[in-house]
Amino acid sequence: MPAAPCATAPLPPAKTSHKQAQRNEPQSAAREECYRVLGVDLTAVPGFQTPTVLVLLCELGPEFAEKFPSGKHFGSWLGLCPDNRITGGKIYSVRTRDVKSRVAEALRLAAQSLHCAENYFGELYRRWKARLGSPKAITAMAHKLARLLWHLLKFQQPFNPEVFAKEEAKMKRQKLARLQTLATTLNYTLVPIQ
C-alpha cells in the first residue's frame, strides 16, 4: 500500500463545474478518504466525480493496478475492448465481450458524462460519437479512461491535463483545416478575430 500522501502533498481543491452540491454527492469527506487510500486524486480526471471514485475503490481496491501488466490488459478484463474472432484470416466478429462489471458500468457513465466537457476528452468523445455512434463511442472512451486509471494508480502520478495539450492542439489544427477547406469550396475566406 502506498505511503499516506496527505503528509507530503495536500489534496488539491475540487474541480467541478457545479455551483451547488449534487444530490448524489456523499455527505462525508469521501473525496479526502479516497485520496488518502489511493494516493492520487482521481476526481481531477474529467468525468470522475466522488461517487464514481468510490465505486472504483470499493470494487477494485487500492492495489488492483499491480495485478495487470498494462492498462490494455485491465481494459480487456473489463470487456471494454473488441474481442476479435478470426478464423483462417477472416474476421467473423469484433464485438466486445459481455462482461458484467460494476467498474465497467461506472467507467461508461463517466465516459457518457463527457458529452458537454470543454476539454480534450470531451472533444474526443464528440468526434467518436459522430463517427461511430453513441454506444461505441461510450465504450471507446470508457476504455481510454480505464487505461488512464490504471496508469495513475500504477505509477502514483497525479492527473496532468498538460500531457494531452499536444493532442488537443493537433485536433484544433485539424478542425481549422476542415473549416478552411469548407470555406474555400463555398467561396468564402476565414478571417481570425482580432
pLDDT score of 75: 92
The mean per-residue pLDDT over the stretch 103-111 comes to 94
The verdict on 104 and 41 lying in the same domain is: yes
pLDDT score of 1: 47
Q: What is the pTM of this model?
A: 0.80
Residue 109: CB atoms within 10 A of its CB come to 16
| CA-angle at 163, arms to 160 and 166, nearest 5° | 145
The verdict on 125 and 183 lying in the same domain is: no
Distance CA 22, CA 24 (A): 6
pLDDT over threshold 80, residue 102: yes
H helices within 22-164, ranges in order?
30-38, 50-60, 71-78, 102-112, 120-132, 134-155
Please tell me whether residue 61 adopts helix, strand or coil conformation.
coil
pLDDT score of 184: 94
The mean per-residue pLDDT over the stretch 76-91 comes to 87
The verdict on 107 and 12 lying in the same domain is: yes
The verdict on 133 and 40 lying in the same domain is: yes
What is the rounded end-to-end Cα distance, in angstroms, of the chain? 53
Q: Provide the grid cell at 166.
A: 499536444
The verdict on 136 and 62 lying in the same domain is: yes
The total number of structural domains that make up the chain: 2
The verdict on 183 and 154 lying in the same domain is: no
The verdict on 105 and 187 lying in the same domain is: no
The mean per-residue pLDDT over the stretch 1-11 comes to 54
Residue 101's contacts (CB-CB under 8 Å, 6 or more residues apart) are: 59, 78, 79
Lowest mean pLDDT among 3-17, 95-109, 114-128, 153-167: 3-17
Instruction: Pick the closest to residue 58 from 113, 102, 98, 14 (CA basis).
Output: 102
The verdict on 131 and 175 lying in the same domain is: no
Distance CA 65, CA 74 (A): 8
pLDDT (tens digit per residue) in 142-151: 999 999 999 9
The verdict on 176 and 120 lying in the same domain is: no
Distance CA 83, CA 76 (A): 8
In eight-state DSSP terms, residue 91 is E
pLDDT band (50, 70, 90) for residue 93: confident
Domain that holds residue 28: 5-159
pLDDT band (50, 70, 90) for residue 100: confident
The verdict on 152 and 178 lying in the same domain is: no
pLDDT (tens digit per residue) in 33-58: 888 888 888 888 999 988 899 999 99
Name which residue leads in pLDDT, 63 or 23: 63
The verdict on 144 and 188 lying in the same domain is: no
The verdict on 56 and 141 lying in the same domain is: yes
